[in-house]
Chain A
């Protein structure tokens, strides 16, 4: 199995709370990604990073923010959770080499009530 970990696996939280979804990888990968997976299972890229101190917004607009202070760590933060943020969030990483595969975490299923 790939060495990329997401915590928590499941989270139920009230509206207006601040939350941070954790993602860590031990493979030394340069690139890291956050995807939002909707109920129909389609994947939408919301953030990505090519390395430390590099973050970019993805194709789907998101109210979340990310940081990349260390190579291995790529947390995602929601300052004020809303029911519309209810979704599955997948973290992935890969080498910054042409055509290399991405490794995925097990995901965090977030429910905002």
Chain B
């Protein structure tokens, strides 16, 4: 079974700083998908960024980018120029094919003014 591990339960940075959230996963598959989801306080979970394992290029979405290291089974999220609105729980998730999502434990990120 696939597992996803987020080793940082909580992180806190100052506004405008850059922060990196870590995620590792375990799978024997060669093709799969990785996601970062964001859950703001009392609001819906939303997708931040997605990476397809067969693509070597790291995905980017505005201030959000990933460092995907397939051999190391690592998928970290970098948030540049962090903003107060980035305060949220962040979940790393894994999907093989069209099967169910497997989530990590989450990282609580606080952006301080």
A43–B101 Cα distance when bound, in Å, is 10
Q: Is the CB of A40 within 8 A of B100?
A: no
Q: Which residues of B contact A106 (CB under 8 A)?
A: 43-44
Contact residue among B37, B44, B91 (Cβ-Cβ distance under 8 Å from A1): B44
Interface contact B106-A42, CB-CB below 8 Å: yes
Given A33-B101, A58-B100, A98-B97, are A41 and B45 also a contact pair (CB < 8 Å)? no
Interface centre among B35, B95, B101 (most CB of A within 10 A): B101
Q: Is the interface of A mostly helix, strand, loop or mixed?
A: loop
Q: Given the complex of chains A and B, what is the CA–CA distance between A100 and B102 in angstroms?
A: 13
Given contacts A97-B98, A99-B33, whether A40 and B105 have CB atoms under 8 Å apart is: yes
**Interface digits, B32-76 against A, CB 8 Å rule (1 contact, 0 not)?**
010101010001111100101000000000000000000000000
At the interface, yes or no: B89 with Cβ under 8 Å from chain A?
yes
Q: Are B52 and A99 in contact (CB under 8 A)?
A: yes
Instruction: State whether A41 touches B46 (Cβ < 8 A).
Output: no
Q: How far is the CA of A28 from the CA of B108 in the complex (A)?
A: 32
Residues on B with beta carbons closer than 8 Å to the beta carbon of A42:
103, 105-106
Q: Which one of A40, A42, A90, A96 has the highest number of Cβ atoms from chain B below 10 Å of its Cβ? A: A42
| A residues in contact with B45, CB < 8 Å | 90, 92, 104
A50 to chain B, nearest CB (A): 9
Which listed residue, B52, B89, B98, B102, touches A41 by the CB 8 Å rule?
A: B89
A58 to B44, CA, bound (A): 21
